[in-house]
Amino acid sequence: MNLGGCKVTTKKWVRLFFTTLFIGGFVTAVVSFFVKPESYTAYLDPFNMWEIFGAIIWFMAMGFTFSVISQMGFFAYLMLNQLGLAMFRSMWNPIQVFLILFTLFDLVYFRYIGAEGNVSLFPYVITALVIFVYGLAVSYVKAKETSQKAFVPALFFMVVITVIEWVPGLRTNDPDWILLMIAALLASNTYQLLILHRLVKTDEDQAETAKQS
């Protein structure tokens, strides 16, 4: 299968899908213990194992949904990156940098002016800063494992695409669900971004071995 210039076997795409699905579900379930503890403490006295288990399964199901959104964004990113390179060539990287900055500004300013009541700007700035710094760290690893040319596209994916995927959660204005969704999205997006070149390399190595034999 050739998607966005990345040639990977269908079997590996399927494995990537289910692994990412599990990561999204697992991370959401773990984070729910800290973000939504009342969903579990309500069944501790008296202790009800099945209700607690049901709550975990429910949060995992939500995580699966977040993971699917993440994977849709990842595939869209692969196609968009190829299209951007074809259309804008050397200008594609500066365009991505502009979109990254615009997205971070949008994440702060428009959420702030849309907030109800007298709220502080600080939490919105911190949110954007955390996503940006995390994106820088992941992009650094991606560039180190592949090439420096991958840094800007990786940062674009981790910031711009992640924020777009996050929009449904942001619209709820519920801090708990906002945190649950961004945790699953960041985990899923990080895994997909850092595993893709390994999948491609494995297939290329296998093809080279087949030619030699």
Segment 51-80, tens digit of pLDDT? 999 999 999 999 999 999 999 999 999 999
From first CA to last CA, the distance across the chain in angstroms is 23
Q: How many residues does the chain have?
A: 213
Name which of 6-10, 27-31, 99-103, 138-142 the model is least confident about.
6-10
Residue boundaries of the structural domains of the chain: 2-205
* Helix, coil or strand: residue 3: strand
* Helix, coil or strand: residue 208: helix
pLDDT digits (tens, 9 = 90+) for 4-60: 556 678 888 999 999 999 999 999 999 999 999 999 999 998 889 999 999 999 999
pTM of the model: 0.91
Among all chains, which residue has been given the structure tokens 């259309």?
87
Q: Residue 173: pLDDT above 80? A: yes
Q: What letter would DSSP give residue 7?
A: E
Question: Cβ of 178: how many Cβ atoms within 10 Å?
Answer: 17
